[in-house]
Chains A and B, each alone.
Chain A
Amino acid sequence: MKSFFIACFLFLAVASAHATPEEDRLALREFFAQRFPDMDLNEMINGLYAFDEGAREQWVEMEDFPPYEIAIEDGEGAFNKTFANGKSYADCFENGGIGIRQNYPRFDTESGEIITLEWAINQCRKDNGEAPLPWLTGELAAISAYMAYTSRGNEMSVVIPDDPRALEAYESGKEYYYTRRGQLEFACENCHMQSAGNKLRADTLSAMLGQATHWPVYRSKWGEIGTLHKRFKECNSQVRAKPYEAQSKVYRELEYFLSYMSNGMEMNGPASRR
């Protein structure tokens, strides 16, 4: 009996120390609602353009004929090509790969891996005897862009299944987001929560909410379309932390957490950014 109470007590202690992902998400929305009481939080899917009017005008002008359209078209072509074995990407995904971006990353209860969309695309290639594509830019990013394009307007719906490994992956991603790192000792949070909407030198910082809804992105600075993990690497370098490899466990866990935080928000990828 006594041990039962101890067990209960321990359970409660653990439960209160670890909020559930859903509690985290709601608390985060509340955080931004208090910081920006006059803003529609759903605007944050547009990153810095939710905050910077002058930049927004130029961005809207770019959206008239955005540079990522080239990637969508290339991606559609690549997506519809058949592999040497006669199969295609459509065979690897639910609903033939159309309109499913919002479900990624997902936790695979069989392998225990976090499956990002890019991971799934390359897994599909490997399963069909094709060589995997490079992670950061090029064909993989273009295919990802096309798949994102077919999912526009859907709501981000990342699921954390009832599996301790999934929750652990989520928690690791969360710890990563809030941990200071690099010579500048910045956590993702320092820029994208506390300073969201502020200027860092010439740049306006985007908010964490909605940060995962619009990838891949054509950044003018890159001059091409690139994946979220390319941006992770760049963020790390900017605070002088040695980046991890794209699609490493750490980055996939980070994407899992980050995407869950955008749950319920509109998918609007691919996007263009400065």
Chain B
Amino acid sequence: MKRNLSTLIFAILATLVFNTSAMAADEAEYQAALANARQALADAQQQVQLWTTSEVLLEEAAEAAASGNFDLAVEQVNEAVLHAELALATAEREKKVWQKGVPK
């Protein structure tokens, strides 16, 4: 368990270092992020209603990528995934509280 946690922390740190490094994102990185995002969105949609913003962000990412701005493209793709995670979080919370609104 402890080992898992430290692996996770290492992974997060590694990601941060990678992302903040001076290296600009390229098309390959965008494609990888996109594939990852598509999977994450599809998984999330199985469980809850996603936000429409996720798709809008992916469209913005595609536009940015088309104009060669892969930094922005990757950023928008990650934002899309974040919005899917937030949708999941809302759904988790709502499972516990939705009945409060029902008149008794």
Contact = CB atoms under 8 A, between A and B. Distances in A.
A and B touch in the complex (CB under 8 A): yes
A198 to B, nearest CB: 16
Contact of B103 (A30, A187, A236): A30
A174 B102 CA distance: 9
A28 B86 CA distance: 31
Interface stretch (B2-10, B49-57, B65-73): B49-57
Nearest to A175: B98
B47 interface: no
Contact of B90 (A178, A180, A194): A180
Interface string A177-215: 011111101010110011000000000000000000000
A237 interface: yes
Given A178-B102, A241-B50, A242-B55, 8 more contacts: A19-B102, A174-B102, A178-B101, A181-B48, A181-B87, A183-B53, A187-B101, A242-B52
B90 A187 contact: no
Contacts of B50: 241-242
A27 interface: yes
A28 B45 contact: no
B49 A182 contact: yes
A244 interface: yes
Interface residues of B, number: 21
Contacts of A240: 51-53
Interface in A233-274: 236-237, 240-244
15 contacts: A28-B103, A174-B102, A178-B101, A179-B91, A181-B48, A182-B49, A183-B86, A185-B90, A187-B98, A187-B101, A190-B101, A240-B52, A241-B52, A242-B54, A243-B49
Contact of B49 (A27, A175, A181, A193): A181
Size range of the chain A interface in the assembly: 20 to 34
A193 B101 contact: yes
A63 interface: no
A183 B94 CA distance: 14
Nearest to B54: A242
Contacts of B91: 179, 181
Contacts of B99: 178
Interface in B69-103: 83, 86-87, 90-91, 94, 98-99, 101-103
Nearest to B53: A183
A31 interface: yes
Interface string B38-64: 000000010011111111000000000
A24 interface: yes
Interface string A9-40: 00000000001000010011011000000000
